[in-house]
């Protein structure tokens, strides 16, 4: 694998899930694979799970890990091409990436949507600069439109929790929030689930449909109760409007997931990428109840990252590279 920013970088999803589950069974079988190599984990936005799970995964592979909390610790970055930098910005992203090239064998980056310009976000204005200027493999730790390491962890978690010989019904449900949230997790989950052997349904209020480029022909139902019927898995996530970019159209119905709603499903397992706003997106009783597999999902972030880093190291360690 040469880079990892989208599901299309994965040649065989079932194989990578299998590999991640083998790593979960014994995570220390490749402790020499990354020896002498360095991964840079660059965070332009906050993180708990992605930062820590990526560090654990990299350490399990023997990689040196450099973590840069760029928003807090680095110089104020300029992203605009041709900018006259006579204001608050101190270092251009192009120069920062060129320097990272000198220090790192792999560069992983978190760069959320700015939620100000739809065009910039849809075109991945920051990730695309890493892809353009990095001379080493680039890994997304969540970008403007996708969160692929999260989605792989979600696929691993569903696989672990399903042993029936029929397709599970997986419902991605919108949940309330207090501020406009980006589309990356919802987009990505929709994209990856279409590669899995599941029946995917998306439910959200009118005005909150995700970008069709990600949802394609997936059924979208605007009535949450109808969508949740017979669900085997419910993925809870908020996102703001895509059409009226970053707006929060009024929603009259109560979309928070509660035990009462769970009772009408097929005893569905509940998922959320975290962090979650308790008693806004889902209730305490759901979060702390027996149907939640949310912490298992968070643990699987380690094995998702380790499987991907391992694949990329295979490519870097391939003696045929460069011939
Ligand atoms: N789910 C997830 O990416 O968590 P963090 O934002 O804490 O990394």
Asked if pLDDT for residue 322 goes beyond 80, the answer is: no
CATH of 7-147+301-316, one of 3.40.1160.10, 3.30.70.980, 3.40.50.1370, 3.30.70.890: 3.40.50.1370
What is the number of alpha carbons within 13 Å of residue 133 lying toward its C-beta? 20
Helix, strand, coil percent content, the chain, rounded in steps of 5: 35, 15, 45
pLDDT tens digits for 151-168? Answer: 999 999 999 999 999 999
pLDDT category of residue 213 using cuts at 50, 70 and 90: very high
Indicate the domain borders of the chain.
7-147+301-316, 162-292
DSSP per-residue codes, 31-66: TTTTTT-EEEEEESS--SHHHHHHHHHHHHTT-EEE
Q: How far apart are CA 113 and CA 126, in angstroms?
A: 9
Residue 275 preceded by cis peptide, ω within 30: yes
Ligand 1 atom at minimum distance from 149 CA? 3
Q: Nearest C-alpha to atom 3 of ligand 1 is from which residue?
A: 50
- What does pTM read for this prediction? 0.97
- Asked if 65 and 316 touch (Cβ cutoff 8 Å), the reply is no
Task: Determine if ligand 1 sits within 6 Å of the CB of residue 50.
Answer: yes
Q: How far apart are CA 131 and CA 97, in angstroms?
A: 10
H or E stretch covering 110:
strand 106-110
**Which of 274, 300, 302, 305 for mutating ligand 1's site (highest number of atoms within 8 Å of CB)?**
274
Q: Nearest C-alpha to atom 1 of ligand 1 is from which residue?
A: 273
Task: Determine if ligand 1 sits within 6 Å of the CB of residue 47.
Answer: yes
Mean pLDDT for the stretch of residues 205-229: 98
DSSP per-residue codes, 179-201: S---SHHHHHHHHHHTTSSSEEE
CA angle 232, 233, 236 (to 5 degrees): 145
Phi, psi values for residue 281, rounded to 5°: -85, -45
**Strand boundaries in 117-217, DSSP class E:** 138-140, 169-174, 199-203
pLDDT tens digits for 74-116? Answer: 999 999 999 999 999 999 999 999 999 999 999 999 999 999 9
For position 33, what pLDDT does the model report? 98
pLDDT tens digits for 50-65? Answer: 999 999 999 999 999 9
Asked if pLDDT for residue 298 goes beyond 60, the answer is: yes
Q: How far apart are CA 50 and CA 41, in angstroms?
A: 10
Determine whether domain 162-292 maps to CATH 1.10.3480.10.
no
The order of strands in the sheet holding 38-43 is 64-69, 38-43, 106-110, 138-140
pLDDT tens digits for 232-252? Answer: 999 999 999 999 999 999 999
End-to-end CA distance of the chain: 17
Binding residues: 47-50, 75, 110, 142, 147-150, 177, 237, 273-274, 277, 301
Percent of the chain with pLDDT over 70: 99
CA 79 to mean position of chain CA atoms: 23
For position 320, what pLDDT does the model report? 77
Say if 7-147+301-316 and 162-292 have the same CATH topology. yes
**Which of 41, 42, 49, 281 for mutating ligand 1's site (highest number of atoms within 8 Å of CB)?**
49
Mean pLDDT for the stretch of residues 170-196: 98
Ligand 1 atom at minimum distance from 298 CA? 1
Mean pLDDT for the stretch of residues 167-186: 98
CA angle 284, 232, 169 (to 5 degrees): 130
pLDDT category of residue 319 using cuts at 50, 70 and 90: confident
More confident site: 72 or 100: 100
Whole-number average pLDDT of the chain? 97
Q: How far is the CA of 196 from the centre of ligand 1 (A)?
A: 22
Q: Nearest C-alpha to atom 6 of ligand 1 is from which residue?
A: 47
Task: Determine if ligand 1 sits within 6 Å of the CB of residue 273.
Answer: yes
């Amino acid at each position: 694998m040469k880079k990892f920013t989208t599901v299309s970088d994965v040649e065989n999803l079932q194989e990578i899930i299998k590999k991640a589950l083998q790593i979960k069974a014994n995570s220390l079988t490749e402790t020499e694979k990354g020896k002498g190599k360095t991964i840079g984990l660059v965070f332009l936005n906050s993180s708990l799970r992605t930062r820590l799970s990526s560090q654990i995964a990299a350490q399990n592979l023997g990689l040196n890990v450099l973590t840069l909390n760029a928003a807090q610790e680095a110089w104020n970055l300029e992203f605009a091409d041709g900018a006259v930098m006579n204001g608050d910005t101190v270092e251009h992203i192009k120069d920062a990436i060129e320097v990272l090239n000198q220090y790192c064998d792999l560069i992983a980056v978190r760069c959320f949507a700015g939620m100000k310009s739809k065009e910039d976000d849809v075109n991945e204005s920051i990730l695309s600069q890493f892809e353009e200027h990095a001379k080493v493999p680039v890994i997304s730790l969540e970008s403007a439109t996708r969160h692929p390491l999260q989605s792989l962890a979600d696929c691993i978690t569903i696989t672990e929790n399903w042993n029936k010989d029929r397709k599970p019904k997986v419902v991605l449900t919108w949940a309330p929030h207090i501020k406009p949230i980006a589309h990356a997790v919802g987009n990505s989950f929709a994209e990856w689930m279409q590669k899995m052997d599941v029946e995917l349904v998306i439910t959200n209020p009118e005005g909150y449909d995700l970008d069709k480029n990600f949802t394609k022909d997936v059924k979208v139902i605007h009535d949450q109760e109808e969508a949740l019927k017979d669900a085997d898995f419910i993925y809870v996530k908020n996102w703001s409007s895509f059409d009226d970019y970053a707006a929060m159209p009024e929603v009259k119905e109560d979309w928070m997931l509660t035990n009462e709603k769970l009772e009408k499903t097929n005893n569905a397992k509940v998922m959320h990428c975290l962090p979650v706003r308790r008693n806004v997106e889902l209730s305490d009783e759901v979060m702390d109840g027996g149907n939640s597999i949310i912490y298992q999902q968070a643990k699987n972030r380690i094995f998702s990252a380790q499987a991907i880093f391992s694949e990329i190291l295979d490519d870097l360690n391939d003696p045929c590279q460069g011939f």
